[in-house]
Structure 1
């Protein structure tokens, strides 16, 4: 059985994980550790998990609600462009967007969250059976029309937004937060002082610039500061540049461009940015139901800074 066939076959199964998200403490059934989120390490309520696919081309910016996400994943899509998947649990903004379509990569990535809700604008017909079989609650426009609205100040398809609270009403049994492998705490020894780190895709670029004043990494996209529609600069506490295999999938967009598949299971290298320093790391995710563990060069768990985490998938 090929690796791709195995991935699709496993999409119909979910494995519940109830291990603590920190190295100490008792997480209980909701994945929280002493009242702290396993996604950010910050004090939080254990709200249901909602992932939203967010457009990230020029006409889609500035975006709405991304600054409120617990985790932001960045993946490569057709034509070398990028797309965002924002994961919410602790806080729900009034709206998020612009919302765009789901990809095969999302299904494998989301399995570590148990059975979350996924908001997206649509999906090509050949991928629909895999979404129907995946361990998640799909809440696209067609299934939760009352949760979506069109903005008058954008042109389609960059003008669709979702109200997270309304989307979750269409997925009342969505799982709460659980351990996905992140650890939070004091920075490891060593590392390299880093003012800026760039990540390039064939047709997109991200840069993360350390702000000592804010103690955050200021995000820029394609050379411009990344802000929200309310003027908030996107500024995570931790950035993970995770080096992965990005291969062609069997799917294409409506223009005929091949959809890349980002392999988020397995193992490899990463670069973790926190507190103005960068740390070489190893990552390991044995199977799709597992979270991703990040370790230092000596094999110790690498702890993130408390706050929003960005994971940027870059080609090895």
Structure 2
């Protein structure tokens, strides 16, 4: 594998590198705890959904689970219970999901897959989230070991994982959020926000929309369509309706499209496809859909530890509606609405 590790301005003073698609183990070292500048929301509501949360979940950290999104990995388990789901491009034109849990649990979640360098941009604002993944290469493992997150991957908390014999590897690794949350260290701080939920909203009413299309393309093409039926959104991927195999509906109130640039990290996967990294520190175009209404504006994340700030075309702050949020991260120009 050719390696040309790309530098990135990571708040923890790390070099950002991507990983190959193989799932390798390496030794985890507990990171030194470091404060971030993101702001916690009121303790009686989830910082990730803006909805009331019960005593069992109040104050616990966020949990990020890397979940497969290739055809052999679907249907997935646990997506309907996630507070936020981030879809990021990986090698070859496929995508992978980072499902973030805090206010609800999933009895089964997966298939759990390997980490990517883009994950650090999502993890750092949450303030030492738990991070569940199936493995990574040695370069990225070194970053995880020093990053402000808690490793609950299979190489650290193996007892939380099992293989489903009805599926083929590597699409058969599963866990549950109750088991993964057992890896929470004593004295862990509660999750902080990734994006504004509730509170002040843009003055603009937005434009009614019934369809969002986004895509990623390289050796293959991943097409995602969201359809609005007047009361809820449903997801279609490459022509197939997407369901949560556990029976939970996937009907987010917010769908946020962040158009981000991807750079070649110099890493290659086993098929010699370039492994990209989403550049999520900076600014870019954003489409913010809340229920059936679209506001076109911008996203900004000035530092690794900063939450994602959304604004309309006049610069007025946009906050999302309470509920589940999906964040799509295609390259600029790879989206349309109707």
| Structure 1 residue ranges without an equivalent (≥5) | 20-30
Q: How far did residue 78 of structure 1 move?
A: 0.6
Q: 2:209 aligns with which of 179, 191, 194?
A: 194
**Structure 2 partner of 1:10:** 13
Q: How far did residue 269 of structure 1 move?
A: 1.1
Q: For the residues of structure 1 that align with 2:132 and 2:328, how far apart are their CA atoms?
A: 20
Q: 1:91 aligns with which of 104, 112, 116?
A: 104
**Structure 2 partner of 1:295:** 311
Q: For the residues of structure 2 that align with 1:271 and 1:292, how far apart are their CA atoms?
A: 13
> Comparing both chains, which one has the higher relative contact order based on Cα–Cα distances under 8 Å and sequence gaps of 6 or more?
2
CA contact (8 A) 2:259 2:284 kept: yes
CA contact (8 A) 1:265 1:285 kept: yes
Taking the TM superposition and a 5 Å limit, the aligned residue runs for 1:112-123 are 112-123=125-136
CA contact (8 A) 1:72 1:86 kept: yes
| Structure 2 residue ranges without an equivalent (≥5) | 15-30, 333-338
**Structure 2 partner of 1:208:** 226
**Structure 1 partner of 2:65:** 52
**Structure 2 partner of 1:25:** none
| Cα RMSD (Å) | 2.0
Taking the TM superposition and a 5 Å limit, the aligned residue runs for 1:139-178 are 139-173=152-186, 174-178=188-192
- TM-score under structure 2 length normalisation: 0.84
**Structure 2 partner of 1:37:** 46
CA contact (8 A) 1:240 1:311 kept: yes
User: How many residue pairs end up in the alignment?
Assistant: 302
Worse overlay, 223-232 or 182-191: 182-191
Q: How far did residue 163 of structure 1 move?
A: 1.8
Q: How far did residue 312 of structure 1 move?
A: 0.5
1:22-55 per-position Cα deviation (integer Å, ceiling 9, x unaligned): xxxxxxxxx2426122211111233221100000
1:100-140 per-position Cα deviation (integer Å, ceiling 9, x unaligned): 00011111221111111100000012221111111111111
Q: For the residues of structure 2 that align with 1:17 and 1:88, how far apart are their CA atoms?
A: 21
**Structure 1 partner of 2:193:** 179
Q: For the residues of structure 2 that align with 1:164 and 1:41, how far apart are their CA atoms?
A: 20
CA contact (8 A) 1:295 1:301 kept: yes
Q: 1:68 aligns with which of 81, 84, 87?
A: 81
Q: 1:306 aligns with which of 288, 313, 322?
A: 322
- TM-score under structure 1 length normalisation: 0.89
CA contact (8 A) 2:226 2:236 kept: yes
Worse overlay, 103-112 or 186-195: 186-195
- Secondary structure of 1:7's counterpart equals coil
